[in-house]
């Protein structure tokens, strides 16, 4: 017998807020490239099941609920360099 738990009619979609800021620059006529990004993401209402124990006489498991949240943040920095010496080109 498959126990799917008790239904929860109050489940909603998770909510997410995202902030992202980026800058791309090329300096000295293309000799130096710089890219920088900063991001932040917050999610709320992620599904989870409470850790409460029910008596086995109840006959079902607890329903999923919008209990959890998380956030992620970070940055990325990328530098590049191009130059030439006669017919020799370098790119880093």
CA-to-CA distance for 48 and 69, rounded, in angstroms? Answer: 10
Q: What is the pLDDT of residue 22?
A: 95
What does the pLDDT profile of the chain (92 residues) look like in tens digits? 445 567 788 888 999 999 999 999 998 888 889 999 999 999 998 888 877 766 666 666 777 888 889 999 999 999 998 876 666 656 65
Looking at residue 64, what is its pLDDT? Answer: 82
Spell out the domain ranges in the chain: 15-50+64-91
Q: Which residues contact 12 (CB under 8 A, 6 or more apart)?
A: 45, 66
Rg (C-alpha) for the chain, rounded Å, is 26
Q: Which pLDDT does position 42 carry in this prediction? A: 96
pLDDT at 91: 60
């Amino acid at each position: 017998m498959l126990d799917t738990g008790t239904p929860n009619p109050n489940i909603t979609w998770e909510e997410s807020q995202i902030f992202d800021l980026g800058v791309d620059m090329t300096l000295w006529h293309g000799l130096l490239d710089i890219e920088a990004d900063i991001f932040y993401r917050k999610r709320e209402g992620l599904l989870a099941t409470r850790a409460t124990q029910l008596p086995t006489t109840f006959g079902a498991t607890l329903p999923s609920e919008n209990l959890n949240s998380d956030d992620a943040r970070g940055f990325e920095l990328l530098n590049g360099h191009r130059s030439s010496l006669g017919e020799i080109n370098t790119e880093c």
